[in-house]
Amino acid sequence: MKVFKFGGASVRDSAAIRNVGSILRRYTGEKLVVVVSAMGKTTNALETIHDKRFKGEEYKSELDALIAYHRDICKEVVPGECGVFDRVLDEFLQVLSESPDADYDMAYDSVVSFGELMSTAIVTDYLNSQGQRASMADAREIVITGEQYREGKVDWERTSSNAPQLIQLLESAEILICQGFIGTTLSGHTVTLGREGSDFTAAILAYILNAESVTIWKDVPGMMNADPRRYPDAVLLEKISYREAIELAYFGASVIHPKTVKPLQNKGIPLYVKSFIHPEEPGTVIQKDAAWDAVVPGFIFKDDQVLLSITPRDFSFVVEENLREIFEALAESNVRINLMENSALSFSICVDKNERRISKLKELLNPHYEIRYNESVTLLTIRHGNEQTIKDLAKGREILIEQLSRNTARLVLR
Under rule CB under 6 A, which residues in 268-327 are in contact with ligand ASP? none
Under rule CB under 6 A, which residues in 183-212 are in contact with ligand ASP? 195-198
Part of the chain binding Mg ion (CB under 5 A), chosen from 25-33, 37-45, 147-155, 320-328: 37-45
Shortest distance (Å) from residue 238 CB to ligand ASP: 25
The verdict on 37 binding Mg ion (CB under 5 A) reads yes
Q: β-strand 190-192 against 182-185: which pairing, if any? A: antiparallel
Residue 38 found at the interface with ligand ASP (CB under 6 A): yes
Q: Which of residues 107-126 bind ligand ASP (CB under 6 A)?
A: 115
| Residue 31 binding partner per list ligand ASP, Mg ion, none, with a CB distance cut-off of 5 to 8 Å that depends on partner kind | none
Residue 8 interacts with Mg ion (CB under 5 A)? Answer: yes
Q: Which is nearer to Mg ion, 37 or 338 (CB)?
A: 37
For the window 347-376, what string marks contact with ligand ASP as x by the rule CB under 6 A?
------------------------------
Binding to ligand ASP by CB under 6 A, coded x per residue (else -) over 214-253, reads ----------------------------------------
The one of Mg ion, ligand ASP, none whose footprint includes residue 119, by CB under 5 to 8 A per kind, is none
Considering the complex, state which of residue 115 and residue 298 has its C-beta at the smaller distance from ligand ASP.
115
- Using CB under 6 A, pick the residue from 10, 19, 43, 322 that binds ligand ASP: 43
Q: Which is nearer to Mg ion, 28 or 254 (CB)?
A: 254
Q: How far is the CB of 218 from ligand ASP (least distance, A)?
A: 12
- Indicate which single residue of 7, 183, 221, 263 sits in contact with ligand ASP (rule: CB under 6 A): 7
The partner in contact with residue 377, picked from ligand ASP, Mg ion, none with C-beta cut-offs of 5 to 8 angstroms by kind, is none
Per CB under 5 A, contacts with Mg ion among 132-151 are none
In the chain, the amino acid numbered 181 is: F
Of Mg ion, ligand ASP, none, which one sits near residue 180, judging by CB under 5 to 8 A according to partner kind?
ligand ASP
Burial of residue 341, with CB atoms counted within 10 A of its CB: 0-12 exposed, 13-18 middle, 19 or more buried: middle
For residues 37 and 116, give the distance between their C-alpha atoms in angstroms, rounded to a whole number: 5
Q: Nearer to ligand ASP by C-beta: 198 or 287?
A: 198
The Cα 245–Cα 225 span in angstroms is 11
To ligand ASP, the closest distance from the beta carbon of 112 in angstroms equals: 8
Which residues, at least 6 apart from 218, have a Cβ–Cβ distance to it below 8 Å? Answer: 7, 9, 10, 255, 273, 274, 275, 276
Q: Does 181 bind ligand ASP (CB under 6 A)?
A: yes
Q: How far apart are CA 378 and CA 306, in angstroms?
A: 8
Whichever of 41 and 71 has its CB closer to Mg ion, that residue is: 41
Q: Name the closest residue to ligand ASP (Cβ).
A: 198
Which partner in ligand ASP, Mg ion, none is near 385 (CB below 5 to 8 A by kind)? none
Contact between 386 and 332 under an 8 Å Cβ cutoff? The reply is no
Least Å distance, CB 275 to ligand ASP, is 18
Cβ 222 to Mg ion shortest distance, Å? 18
Is 37 an interacting residue with respect to ligand ASP (CB under 6 A)?
yes
In this structure, are residues 1 and 33 in contact, taking their beta carbons and an 8 Å threshold? Answer: yes
Closer residue to ligand ASP in complex, CB, 43/128: 43
Query: Which parts of this chain interact with Mg ion (CB under 5 A)?
Result: 8, 37
Query: Which parts of this chain interact with ligand ASP (CB under 6 A)?
Result: 7-8, 37-38, 43, 115, 180-181, 195-198
